[in-house]
Amino acid sequence: MPENWQIGGFGLYIHWPFCASKCPYCDFNSHVAKQIDQERWKQAYIAEITRIGVETGDRILGSVFFGGGTPSLMNPDLVSDILDAVRATWTTANDIEITLEANPTSVEAGRFSGYRQAGVNRVSLGIQALNDPDLRALGRLHSVKDALSALKTARNEFQRVSFDLIYARQDQTLSAWKQELHSALAMEPDHLSLYQLTIEQGTAFGDRFKRGGLAGLPDEDLGADLYHVTQQMCDSAGLPAYEVSNHAKNGSESHHNLIYWRSGDYAGIGPGAHGRLTFGADRFATDTALAPQIWLDQVEASGCGEKSRTPLTSDERDAEFLMMGLRINEGIACARLKKRTDFTNKIKSLEEIGMLRSDCGQLYVTDQGRPLLNSILRELLPETD
């Protein structure tokens, strides 16, 4: 049987760590900087591409993802030079997906035209809400008018455009979310990422929540209702969930994210970027320094941006396979867990109560179990946070 990464594919993640401002809910590795030497960053990214290419250059590259931060703050020439280096390093798939994340405030027609000419063929817009008061509450710098303008600009340049919305926001009612989601679906997107607001430690919202200052968050029942109506409305519009929070028309799924969820290999470049790389019988977890200046200095001084490269144990690999694979509707191959009687017994118990089901050698989370995925994973993997 092929290794998981050979089934899942091989991708490249490039982290641009800079934003115009820090959103209060965001726990991603993003930083606000007044001045950025993009030429210096270009040299560091290309050096990392070259280094990783020495180890993986015989692979077919299926996706490139510029994440952040706000990659749409990158100069188009910088993106172009990085992608030139990528094409010089790896053979790329005929249908390679090259995604760039963008915020509506940083969208300009000329800039997007430059990204398209560089080779970007998919854009993901962080719209997050379709009413101005909630955008302000989320700390976003754009308005609904800006978002709709950015969406129009993106669609004029790219065949594939996705956008994100956050729901279960403060004081959000079920009827208000239905109306907002109806407006989003009326735009006829081919891909939507719909996330319930989560309060993360270390964020401004997290600190405010600890002080009791984040009122109006939905209770468990309303949260469940918001989730279920999201599934129903997206299904009816032809955008079923192919992953817990991601909805797409058939064929418009995110190739890059599927690499993660199918336990493929991916190289992570940039501050705070993680990777998974398989060599022979060993699969390694890689990570990098979080601080942009530390990462940049390290690449320039040592020629390597990795902070660590750690071999995963068999248990860790199986746990990741379960955690990632059960997120997607296609499920996971039961045969890859057949030697794990501890998993087998727990899976049987969860099947009996309707949380999981197995069919034709695949294991799936049921519709009933999907909203409870974190609880299912805690049952299967007691160490899971």
Q: Give the model's pLDDT for residue 3.
A: 60
316-357 pLDDT, tens digit each: 998 899 899 999 999 998 877 766 667 778 888 999 999 999
Q: Cis omega before residue 216 (within 30°)?
A: no
pLDDT of residue 57: 86
164-172 average pLDDT score: 95
Q: Does position 144 have pLDDT exceeding 50, yes or no?
A: yes
> How far is 155 from 153, CA to CA, in rounded Å?
6
Nearest to 283 by CA among 300, 266, 295: 266
Please state, rounded to an integer, the average pLDDT across all residues of the chain.
Answer: 92
Name the one residue in this structure whose structure tokens are 């065949």: 159
Residue range 78-123, pLDDT digits in tens: 999 999 999 999 999 999 999 999 999 877 768 899 999 999 999 9
Contact 110, 118 (CB under 8 A): no
pLDDT of residue 359: 87
Average pLDDT over residues 353-382: 90
* Out of 7-11, 12-16, 28-32, 65-69, least confident range: 28-32
Angle between helices 76-89 and 38-56 (to 10 degrees): 20
Q: Contact, 204 vs 30, CB < 8 A?
A: no
Q: What is the DSSP letter of 272?
A: T
Confidence of residue 1 (pLDDT cuts 50, 70, 90): very low
Higher pLDDT, 255 or 384: 255
pLDDT at 293 over 70: yes
- Quote the CA–CA distance of 334 and 250 in Å, as a whole number: 25
Distances in Å between the Cα of 100 and the Cα atoms of 68, 254, 346 are: 9, 12, 40
Determine how β-strand 241-243 pairs with β-strand 18-19: unpaired
Q: Is the separation of the CB atoms in 371 and 244 below 8 Å?
A: no
Does residue 165 sit in helix, strand or coil? strand
* Nearest Cα to Cα of residue 47 among 310, 309, 295: 295
Look at the pTM and tell me if it is higher than 0.85: yes
Q: How far is CA 310 from CA 286, 306, 313, in A?
A: 6, 11, 9
C-alpha to C-alpha distances, 280 to 283, 284, 304, 325, nearest whole angstrom: 8, 11, 22, 22
State the residue for tokens 């607001």: 197
Decide which of 77 and 203 is more confident.
Answer: 77
Task: Please report the pLDDT score of residue 381 as a whole number.
Answer: 84
Range scoring the smallest mean pLDDT among 163-177, 205-219, 242-256: 205-219
Half-sphere exposure of 382 (CA within 13 A, CB side): 3
The distance from CA 335 to its chain's CA centroid, rounded to whole angstroms, is 27
Give the number of other CB atoms < 10 A from CB of residue 361: 11
At 221, is the pLDDT very low, low, confident or very high (cuts 50, 70, 90)?
very high
* pLDDT (0 to 100) of residue 276: 97
367-375, long-range: CB < 8 A, 24+ apart:
367/231, 370/241, 370/244, 371/224, 371/227, 371/228, 373/244, 373/326, 373/327
Q: Which domains does the chain have, with CATH numbers?
A: 4-260 (3.20.20.70), 313-385 (1.10.10.920)
pLDDT at 295: 96
**Which pLDDT does position 200 carry in this prediction?**
85
Rounded Cα distance between 167 and 172, Å, is 8
Whether 125 shows a pLDDT value over 90: the answer reads yes
Going by pLDDT thresholds of 50, 70 and 90, the confidence category of residue 256 is very high
Please tell me what DSSP assigns to residue 313: P
- Residue-level pLDDT at 45: 98
- The structure tokens 């929540």 sit at 209
Task: Say how many C-beta atoms besides its own lie within 10 A of residue 380's C-beta.
Answer: 21
| Structural element, H or E, at residue 85 | helix 76-89
pLDDT bracket for residue 47 (50, 70, 90): very high
Helices 314-325 and 373-380: angle between axes, nearest 10 degrees: 160
Work out the burial of residue 69: count CB atoms within 10 Å of its CB; fewer than 13 is exposed, 13-18 middle, 19 or more buried. Answer: buried
Res 7: pLDDT: 82
CA distances from 279 to 5, 92, 240, 316 (A): 10, 20, 36, 16
